[in-house]
């Protein structure tokens, strides 16, 4: 292993440790020592990769989560070529993760968003970009199914808002029922929206 590869591996471990912390403890619920122990790295290395400390690491974790979620959705639409199937699998994966964690692991983005204040300008900017990326990816998938750009953007906004809320409610209720019901409702709306635009376009 080269020095550069080792350095990259350490950086990735720190980001992964922060992502895991945000899922389970929240931004203010985890300390630097916890992150270092999870990443198995000394304190000096943290500030080498992230001079801004914990807040900078959190921003990189937010960016990593958004990239991972967007990438997973892209892979699903490439694999299934069906927007409805892709969205069903994508939303279902979050539910499985929550249930597997015994309802302890929430959405990292929602967790830190709820904790942020007006003083966390850079964190909030990163969150805003992350949610915008997710809406754009979902809108793109809906567009593949033939939905118009305005309808796809509006539907994407609804999906992100509804699903984040369902994930939060399921976590505190320690039950996947709300997530399942929300997924079913959203998939129904997607089907109806795609059908509406298909009819309008003369494809049925």
Packing angle, helices 3-24 and 54-80, rounded to 10 = 90
Task: Tell me the C-alpha distance between 98 and 173, whole Å.
Answer: 12
Which tens digit of pLDDT belongs to each residue from 110-163? 999 999 999 999 999 999 999 999 999 999 999 988 999 999 999 999 999 999
Task: Tell me the C-alpha distance between 50 and 31, whole Å.
Answer: 15
Please check whether the domain covering 55-200 is classified as CATH 2.60.120.560.
no
Domain segments of the chain as ranges: 55-200
Task: Tell me the C-alpha distance between 146 and 204, whole Å.
Answer: 12
Closest CA to 16 of 52, 51, 53, 68: 68
Dihedral-angle region of residue 202 (phi above 0 means left; psi in -120 to 50 means alpha; beta otherwise): left
Which tens digit of pLDDT belongs to each residue from 5-61? 445 789 999 999 999 999 999 999 999 999 999 999 988 899 999 999 999 999 999
């Amino acid at each position: 292993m080269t020095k550069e590869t080792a350095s990259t591996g350490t950086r990735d471990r720190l980001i992964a440790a922060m992502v895991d912390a945000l899922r389970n403890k929240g931004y203010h619920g985890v300390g630097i020592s916890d992150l270092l122990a999870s990443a198995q790295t000394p304190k000096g290395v943290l500030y080498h990769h992230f001079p801004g400390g914990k807040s900078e690491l959190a921003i990189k974790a937010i960016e990593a989560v958004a990239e991972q979620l967007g990438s997973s959705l892209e892979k699903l639409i490439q694999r299934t070529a069906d927007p409805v199937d892709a969205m069903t699998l994508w939303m279902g994966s979050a539910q499985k993760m929550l249930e597997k964690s015994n309802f302890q692991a929430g959405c990292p983005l929602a967790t830190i968003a709820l904790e942020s204040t007006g003083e966390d300008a850079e964190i909030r900017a990163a969150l805003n970009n992350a949610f915008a990326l997710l809406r754009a990816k979902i809108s793109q998938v809906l567009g593949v199914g033939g939905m118009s750009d305005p309808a796809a953007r509006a539907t994407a906004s609804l999906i992100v808002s509804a699903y984040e809320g369902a994930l939060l409610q399921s976590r505190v209720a320690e039950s996947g029922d709300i997530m399942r019901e929300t997924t079913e409702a959203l998939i129904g709306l997607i089907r109806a929206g795609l059908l509406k635009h298909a009819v309008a376009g003369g494809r049925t």
